[in-house]
Amino acid sequence: MSSESPSDPPLLRVEDLYKRYGDEEVLNGVSFDMDAQDVQVLVGPSGSGKSTLLRCVNRLTEFEGGRIALDGTPTDEMDENDLRRQVGMVFQDFNLFAHLTAKRNVMLGLRRVRGHSKEEAEARALEELEQVGLGDQADSYPAELSGGQQQRVGIARALAMDPKLMLFDEPTSALDPELIGEVLGVMRDLADQGMTMLCVTHEMGFARQVATDIMFLEGGHLVEHGPPEQLFENPRHERTAQFLDRLTSLHGGDHG
């Protein structure tokens, strides 16, 4: 998939990851690699540990066992802010500041994390808003935007940090059905431009067309992973087949 030589470390390596909340084992030895430009789709039942896995990757939560490395560097040796800059995250519920315009929401990290001047930050924010099709909404407040537009601001905000990896946690689950396509369209564009993406999503049309790999997580175990053709047409485990069938009947539409 990538143009890198085989000796390069993977862009993301997750190795034997264990995570507990109290007595509950939430992740039970999860391992996988992602190369640059991979689009990894993560599916699994509610409570299977998908969000927890994403949160371990950018250290929003700590874990008890295993290792995570970004570009060969263990994430626990990285400065936390540096890690969060390199690993962008998009949430289900947008997480925008209501009192700031779209442009100011995107500028915030550029000013605070990247130390851009006001002028630099403004120019970059406008560029990113253009990229997600919102150049004409830069001065709108979140309440004046649709859910799909708010989510695209969230994506622009993450992209402004020049991330190496983007994490998406059910980015379209809070949206009305007619707004899902515009967000998936932006994600598809990003994938086409070579962004490395780890996406929790139920949108099976997107997964089939855009994913390089699909992982099925159940009870904190990685049951199966492989390219979409394999998981959809020829899964190794009956549970994978059942789960993907059910998701496809619920969310199989092509919104992109």
Ligand X SMILES: Nc1ncnc2c1ncn2[C@@H]1O[C@H](COP(=O)(O)OP(=O)(O)OP(=O)(O)O)[C@@H](O)[C@H]1O
Return the number of the residue (102 or 217) whose C-beta is nearest ligand X. Answer: 217
Interface with Mg ion, residue 86, by CB under 5 A: no
Region of 4-12, 40-48, 135-143, 156-164 interacting with ligand X (CB under 6 A): 40-48
Candidates 10, 49, 154, 235: give the one binding ligand X (CB under 6 A): 49
Residue 47 contacts which entry, ligand X, Mg ion, none (Cβ below 5-8 A, type-dependent) = ligand X
Coil, strand or helix: which one is 166? strand
Residues in the chain: 256
* Cβ 122 to ligand X shortest distance, Å: 35
Report the alpha-carbon distance of residue 65 to residue 220 in Å, rounded.
13
Report the alpha-carbon distance of residue 60 to residue 176 in Å, rounded.
28
For residue 130, CA distances in Å to 3, 113, 180 come to 28, 21, 19
Nearest of 132, 127, 130 to residue 186 by alpha carbon = 132
- Cβ-based neighbour number of residue 79 at 10 Å: 8
Region of 43-51, 74-82, 83-91, 191-199 interacting with Mg ion (CB under 5 A): 43-51
* Cβ 8 to ligand X shortest distance, Å: 30
Q: Output b/e per residue, 41-78; b: 16+ Cβ within 10 A.
A: bbbbeeebbbbbbbbbbbbeeebeebebbbeeeebeeb
Region of 48-56, 70-78, 138-146, 232-240 interacting with ligand X (CB under 6 A): 48-56
What does the radius of gyration of the chain's CA atoms come to, in whole angstroms?
A: 18
Candidates 35, 42, 48, 51: give the one binding Mg ion (CB under 5 A): 51
Return the number of the residue (44 or 142) whose C-beta is nearest ligand X. Answer: 44
Return the number of the residue (51 or 201) whose C-beta is nearest Mg ion. Answer: 51
Q: Which residues, 205 to 224, sit near Mg ion by CB under 5 A?
A: none
Interface with Mg ion by CB under 5 A: which residues? Answer: 50-51
Interface with ligand X by CB under 6 A: which residues? Answer: 21, 24, 26, 44, 46-52
